Chain A
Amino acid sequence: MRLLTTFSALTVSIGIAALAATSNPVQASAFTQAEDAVKYRQGAFQLIRENFGYMSGMVRGEIDFDAEQFKQRSQALYHLSNIPFDAFSGAGENATDNSDALPAIWQNRSDFDAKAEAFQQAVKELVEAADSENMRTIRPAFMATARTCQQCHEGYRAD
């Protein structure tokens, strides 16, 4: 019995290690089809947009500010912030069918990656700002994040 438990724990550990290894974006992603990578990216961006849009309602005074809700949304955004970018590699490389991704992404890959990182960094700072529960601290961090979206859309996302 004990042996079996140890064995299954070992299996799980190996599984986690394997997952950790494949989550590195430099290595081949899990996608075998470009269209799956595109759907994955788009799904992730959709989730980002919905969460960001909800927060924007509070920042722009369309809905009442609720510090707890805002924190939850900012944390969701944090967990999402690196998700779409894995799918621009592997099978997602140069995938532009049914996609707004422009070829410039892969022509200027290092610049694109830098802009993705700027977004992730801005989201990190937004989460920290959300902890203050103070809109005067949150607003500039939120707008800074929005600007990183715009800076990357310009040139890398079809109009």
Chain B
Amino acid sequence: MMNTLTIKLWDGFIRSFHWLLVVVLAGLWYTGGDIDYIDLHHQLGLVMLALLLTRIMWGIVGSQSARFSYFMRSPIAVWQYFKAPFKHEYVTHNPAGAYMVIIMLALLLSQAISGLFTDDAIFFRGPLAHLVSNDMVRSLTRYHKQAFDYILIAIALHLVAIFVYTVMKKRLVGPMITGRKAYPENAQVNQPKQRHGAFGLVLLGINITWIFGWLS
């Protein structure tokens, strides 16, 4: 057994966010397109919106390892990463994973926001549909129906990456549960500054409150 160096990588908010995202997204998938669950789908969509908004805020004011400024790299770094993906040890997201985070957040956010402008032509009208033209409502409704496929593709890529890393004996799932990640003792890694996850959860509570107050 090699000596290891353990780093606190993901704070309580990031871990809660990640697994809540999985649960809420599964619920949205299950309730989507079914007229009997449309009101539940709407409410889950608002929770999703609050989750995403809080994650973005946490990416600015949260723990270092959660900050965009900490893990975003240049496209050149992504290229170098793909040339030798397992050579370096990364604290937080690797350069390709960082872009994946942005793509995933952008896809989910556009899905959540477009949902607010949908109209099912039967009895559901999104809470903001009255603000835009009928043509815009039609386009956004169409987008909302189609774009879920892009989200599924992004999830598939995410799972494939985790699988490849697992084959290469690098654990990604464990740290997302415990928050801690073990590195070889000689790895050149520094402990990122952590903020208590409870602050993030309070922020999430505030965001859920005003979003439900405004849009439910």
Contact = CB atoms under 8 A, between A and B. Distances in A.
Interface of A: 49, 52-53, 56, 60, 143, 146-147, 149-150, 153, 157, 159
Contacts of B122: 49, 52, 146, 149-150, 153
A143 B142 contact: no
Given A149-B122, A153-B121, A159-B142, 8 more contacts: A49-B121, A52-B123, A53-B125, A146-B123, A147-B35, A147-B36, A153-B122, A159-B141
A16 to B, nearest CB: 35
Contacts of A146: 35, 122-123
B39 interface: yes
B18 interface: no
Given A143-B35, A147-B35, A150-B35, A56 B123 contact: yes
B145 interface: yes
A52 B119 CA distance: 14
A100 B53 CA distance: 36
Q: List the 7 closest A-B pairs by CB distance, nearest first.
A: A56-B123, A149-B122, A159-B142, A146-B35, A150-B35, A146-B122, A53-B123
Interface string B121-163: 1110100000000000010011001000000000000000000
Contacts of A149: 121-122
Contacts of B39: 60
Nearest to A149: B122
B34 to A, nearest CB: 9
Nearest to A54: B123
B131 to A, nearest CB: 18
19 contacts: A49-B122, A52-B122, A52-B123, A53-B123, A53-B125, A56-B123, A60-B123, A143-B36, A146-B35, A146-B122, A147-B35, A147-B36, A149-B122, A150-B35, A150-B120, A150-B122, A153-B121, A153-B122, A159-B141
Contacts of B121: 49, 149, 153, 157
A90 to B, nearest CB: 25
